[in-house]
Amino acid sequence: MRIVAFGDIHMDPGDVANIPGIDSADHIIITGDITNFGSSLDAEAVLNRLLPMNSSLLAVAGNLDQPDVANYLEDIDISLHGRSISVEGLGIMGLGGSNHTPFNTPYEFSEEELGDILSAGFRTIEDVNNFILVSHTPPLRTKTDRLADGRHVGSGAVRAFIEEKQPRLCLTGHIHESRGQDHIGKTLVLNPGMLKDGGYIEVHYENGEFSAALRP
């Protein structure tokens, strides 16, 4: 199984069509911020550019998406927010939105709420040996949640969940300037940055063997 993941689209898919093998990937995962303070209609416009390339989409909304974007993703049955699926023995669960920011963005949650959403999403895959967490907001105190001035602004709830449950991989975004990777225990955390800057993640999983890397 091959997965291509990216996020922080902000209405601009850039050169996504040039991602090698995007049309043949088993799944495309969007890690949030499909729009820029946009509605479900804006999100639909973005997805209508992606779906002709590959219809196997999974997604969470980001903090800069209006709440009705999250509802729209549920309506078209591609949402991972507070949900999970299992494919070929690999669990995939998701968390949209973000922890509270100073900017009062449209889709934010308290740390307690984030923890509850993570618990709900994990319930149906807790017996799966290998799983991926798709979280728009990165875990706190990693190389993937630092602002330009060095402050860490990720979620403590996401970090606590990763420390306890140890997913194989956390696909994240949200902090554009913090493109990079880190580890929390055995969990690899990857933030590809904004899609228009060309960053994405490539994941391979087969018979329990797993690999993931930032591209290009």
pLDDT single digits (tens) 56-100: 999 999 999 999 999 999 999 999 999 999 999 999 999 999 999
Q: How many CA atoms lie within 13 A of 174 on its CB side?
A: 34
pLDDT at position 40 is 98
pLDDT at position 215 is 97
As given in the structure block, the two tokens for residue 154 are 């990720």
pLDDT at position 120 is 98
pLDDT at position 114 is 98
Dihedral in degrees, nearest 10, Cα atoms 56, 118, 16, 204:
-70
For 176, the domain range is 2-215
**Low pLDDT (below 70) residues in the chain:** none
pLDDT at position 138 is 98
Question: CA–CA separation, 67 vs 50, rounded Å?
Answer: 21
pLDDT at position 182 is 98
Query: For the chain, what is the domain count?
Result: 1
Burial of 102 (C-beta count, 10 Å sphere; 0-12/13-18/19+): exposed
pLDDT at position 166 is 98
Question: CA–CA separation, 96 vs 81, rounded Å?
Answer: 5
CATH number of the domain encompassing residue 62: 3.60.21.10
